[in-house]
Amino acid sequence: MKPRHFIFLAAVLSASALAGCGKKEPPVSEAEVKAVFEKSLPSTVDDKVWERVPAHPAKLLLQDMVEPRLLQASTPFVRVQSVTDGRKVAFLLTWKDATLDDVPGPALFGDACAVQLPATTAADVPAPQMGEDGKTVEITYWSAIFQASVNGRKDDIHALYPRAAVDHYPFEAPSLKAGSPPQQEMAKRYAPARGAENPMAGPRTVPVQDLLADGPGTIRFAEKTVSSGSGKYSGGGWTVLLVRPLPNGAQPGGRTQVAFAVWEGSRQEVGARKMRTAWIPLSLGSAQ
Amino acid sequence: MARVYNWQLGREMSYWYPERRPKRQFAAVFDTNKCIACQTCTLACKTTWTSGKGQEYMLWNNVETKPYGFYPLGWDLNLLEKLGAQDWDGGQYAGRTIFEAAQPGERVLGWRPEDIDYASPNVGEDDCAGGVEKGAHFTGVHNSWFFYLARMCNHCTYPACLSSCPRSAIYKRPEDGIVLIDQGSCRGYQECVKACPYKKTFFNAMTGTSEKCIACFPKIESGMQPQCFVNCIGKIRFAGWISRPESARADNPIDFLVHVKKVALPLFPQFGLEPNVYYIPPMNVPREFLAQMFGPGVDQALEAYRNAPRDKDLAGLLTLFGSTEAIVAKWKRVEEQVIGYDESGKEIIRVPLREPTHIRQAFDAARGVARTNVS
Ligand code: SF4
Ligand code: SF4
């Protein structure tokens, strides 16, 4: 087979894999992400509504502007669908990924994705790369590692290395009643990031984090994560649902901008090393 | 990148941030000739700081047998190979640092150890550089050699961990130069793990953040030396404060050893971090190996060390190692006594230059028995 034919076939195969076996292909919205108005938002990635919500094929670009950069392209595009109920907006992100990466460890990184919106809807949009000074962006970040712990994987070395042998954890000494407040308090002291209330450290109830940024390198945790989501790996790719509040000034029937990012864990993509989109117009449907 | 001055290289170099030295810089001297690889330091650190979940594999302090010991595997060789052969021009470094050799898109030249690289912390333990021939015995020259290299974070003047962190979650304390990862804002990108040439930051898979040696800062803040220092069986370690060479003071113990006597040298100065743990190099190891590891000052350092029996000041200061838990900020020798003072000038320790020696006869005439060690 000539290489060009091979590429064509690969493209057809990937498109059908993304669509999911036996699922109805949704209509395409080339120019923008259309958030369709629905009275209630879908709560799963398998909701029937996704069969009729227009899909925008968002082209992913290398983050090659600031160090550390990504210099080798990986995930080429992400398919985006969106629904709004006038208060919140849901995004369904679907992309192809040959490897499921949800285990943390040295040199191990999880698959992940994120959606970014200007914190305030205005004609003058922030820079697409994480916003800029005085023009904040709001980000909702989903990680396969978070998803695995929400799905029930224990925060324990044996969940990652089943044959690990540990002699003793001081905070699990027999003299301490398991689960008692003093025991919990002590366990926290032995998990520095948890002690510092870092949302990276769990315990976790949702697989997403709400973040804010005013430019590259300025990302910070929102006061509270109010978004929710869920991700599912099947058919050689991820489908991730992100549900978050509409940002300030984004009205039903109005327009704003949205951007996305995807990290391929097996390629050690993390932080700034990512595939991302430019701003994409987002039209918000209304009840009328 | 900014231009900064690195006195260990004898020249300016490129660094991600401008030069901003702390008010004073935590530093240490390790005498490799006295280390017995008992790992008491490793355990002192482990039990104090890293017995939590996700910290199981972490050794903020470790001791490895050179040339075949590494933790993590090949930490130094991997980077030396990436950096390629580089030269010194006398006391000035003519090669490229890991900041100057950074590949496109990177802030630092580095590599990422995998979990398997941490799986054998005792690899190479007590392995000689060469085979030992049948019938070989010690005749005064070691043909086969090894030595113990005790390692901790160097609380570098130009930390690669700090410069690599895209979210500036790593900071160097202006009051004492201790380098810390802010556990509240780290997002676990592991850029620091990739960048630190000494591999002294570690990813905690349970908390999703990276962690590192904190130089026992609560102890430092109260005038005491860190745990791995005060528990050292071989008394090889000495913690204190280092000045820049031009403001070195002979009554500051670290300055005296590093700047005045030049008996203690930085580990892989060519990487460009201006590391602040200084090593008295081992005497039994080929010079080429030592020069690669400790830079061009090796001959001078060994000469000074060999001369210690005739150099009452140097010998005197070496006797202060492991003599007190407190940080000795100043010292002086008064004839056959060596005195250590704290920050305020208060005497905290006084040791004799030579311990009195008592020779017991092998035969106990009173009891009519030969003495053993316990009789
Ligand atoms: S030794 Fe490594 S971890 Fe320690 S300060 Fe230097 S670069 Fe950072
Ligand atoms: S405690 Fe001292 S002698 Fe023992 S291994 Fe550590 S540095 Fe060496």
- In this prediction, the residues of chain A whose per-residue pLDDT falls under 70 are 1-23
Judgement on whether residues A118 and A169 belong to the same structural domain of the protein: no
Comparing alpha-carbon positions, the chain A residue that sits nearest to B105 is A69
**What pTM was estimated for this model as a whole?**
0.93
What's the one-letter identity of residue B296? Answer: P
Judgement on whether residues A52 and A183 belong to the same structural domain of the protein: no
Please tell me the total count of domains within chain A. Answer: 2
- Expressed in angstroms and rounded, the spacing between residue B316 Cα and the centre of ligand 2 is 21
B187 touching A, CB under 8 A?
yes
Q: Is residue A3 part of a domain?
A: no
Query: For chain A, what is the HEC assignment?
Result: CCHHHHHHHHHHHHHHHHHCCCCCCCCECCCCEEEEECCCCCCCCCCHHHHCCCEEEEECEECCCCCCCCCCCCCCEEEEEEEECCCEEEEEEEEECCCCCCCCECCECCCEEEEEEECECCCCCCCCCCCECCECEEEEEEEHHHHHHHCCCCCCHHHHCCCCCCCCCHHHCCCCCCCCHHHHHHHHHCCHHHHCCCHHHCCCCCCEEEEEECCCCCCEECCCCCCEEEEEEECCEEEEEEEEECCECCCCCCEEEEEEEEECHHHCCCCCCCEECCCEEEEECCCC
CA distance A200 to chain B (A): 6
Ligand 1 binding pocket includes B155 (Cβ within 6 Å): yes
For residue B39, the ligand 2 atom closest to its alpha carbon is 5
- Expressed in angstroms and rounded, the spacing between residue B303 Cα and the centre of ligand 2 is 24
Query: What's the pLDDT score for residue A3?
Result: 42
Judgement on whether residues A46 and A180 belong to the same structural domain of the protein: no
- For the segment A77-106, what is each residue's pLDDT rounded down to a tens digit? 999 999 999 999 999 999 999 999 999 999
Q: Spell out the residues 6+ positions from residue B105 whose beta carbon is closer than 8 angstroms to its own.
A: A64, A67, A68, A69, A70, A71
Q: Is residue A6 part of a domain?
A: no
The conformation of residue B102, written as its DSSP 8-state character, comes to: P
Distances in Å between the Cα of B77 and the Cα atoms of B69, B292, B339 are 11, 11, 41
Report the distance separating Cα A145 and Cα A238, nearest Å: 13
- Would you write out chain B's pLDDT as a tens digit for each of its 375 residues? 899 999 999 999 999 999 999 999 999 999 999 999 999 999 999 999 999 999 999 999 999 999 999 999 999 999 999 999 999 999 999 999 999 999 999 999 999 999 999 999 999 999 988 887 787 777 766 678 999 999 999 999 999 999 999 999 999 999 999 999 999 999 999 999 999 999 999 999 999 999 999 999 999 999 999 999 999 999 999 999 999 999 999 999 999 999 999 999 999 999 999 999 999 999 999 999 999 999 999 999 999 999 999 999 999 999 999 999 999 999 999 999 999 999 999 999 999 999 888 888 889 899 998 887 665
- In this structure, which residue's CA is closest to atom 3 in ligand 1? B200
Ligand 1 binding pocket includes B41 (Cβ within 6 Å): no
For residue B179, the ligand 1 atom closest to its alpha carbon is 5
Judgement on whether residues A189 and A216 belong to the same structural domain of the protein: no
Q: Do B208 and A193 touch (CB under 8 A)?
A: yes
- Expressed in angstroms and rounded, the spacing between residue B106 Cα and the centre of ligand 1 is 17
A220 touching B, CB under 8 A?
yes
Judgement on whether residues A247 and A261 belong to the same structural domain of the protein: yes
The 3-state DSSP class for residue B337 equals strand
Judgement on whether residues A226 and A271 belong to the same structural domain of the protein: yes
Q: Do B209 and A193 touch (CB under 8 A)?
A: yes
How many CA atoms lie less than 13 Å away from A122 in the CB half-sphere? 11
The CATH number for A225's domain is 2.60.40.1190
- Identify which of A67, A193, A268 has the shortest CB distance to residue B186: A193
Ligand 1 binding pocket includes B98 (Cβ within 6 Å): no
Judgement on whether residues A43 and A179 belong to the same structural domain of the protein: no
Structure tokens of A42?
A: 């879908």
Judgement on whether residues A75 and A196 belong to the same structural domain of the protein: no
Judgement on whether residues A251 and A182 belong to the same structural domain of the protein: no
Q: Is residue A121 part of a domain?
A: yes
**Residue B308: exposed, middle, or buried by beta-carbon count in 10 A (0-12, 13-18, 19+)?**
middle
Q: Is residue A16 part of a domain?
A: no
Judgement on whether residues A100 and A116 belong to the same structural domain of the protein: yes
The ipTM, to two decimals, is 0.90
Query: What's the pLDDT score for residue B132?
Result: 78
Query: What's the pLDDT score for residue A2?
Result: 40
- For the segment B1-27, what is each residue's pLDDT rounded down to a tens digit? 899 999 999 999 999 999 999 999 999
Ligand 1 binding pocket includes B159 (Cβ within 6 Å): yes
- Expressed in angstroms and rounded, the spacing between residue B302 Cα and the centre of ligand 2 is 21
Judgement on whether residues A193 and A229 belong to the same structural domain of the protein: no
Ligand 1 binding pocket includes B153 (Cβ within 6 Å): yes
Which residue carries 């690195």 as its tokens? B6
CA B211 to chain centre: 19
Q: Do A198 and B207 touch (CB under 8 A)?
A: yes
Q: Is residue A83 part of a domain?
A: yes
Report the distance separating Cα B162 and Cα B217, nearest Å: 18
Give the best residue of A198, A209, A263, A270 to mutate against chain B (max B CB count within 10 A). A198
Report the distance separating Cα A172 and Cα A178, nearest Å: 7
Query: What's the pLDDT score for residue A80?
Result: 98
B345 touching A, CB under 8 A?
no
CB B44, CB B38: distance < 8 Å: no
Structure tokens of A266?
A: 């097996």
The conformation of residue B270, written as its DSSP 8-state character, comes to: G
Judgement on whether residues A98 and A174 belong to the same structural domain of the protein: no
Q: Is residue A13 part of a domain?
A: no
Q: Is residue A43 part of a domain?
A: yes
A166 touching B, CB under 8 A?
yes
Range of the domain at A258: 25-155+207-284
Cis ω before A281 (30° cut-off from 0) = no
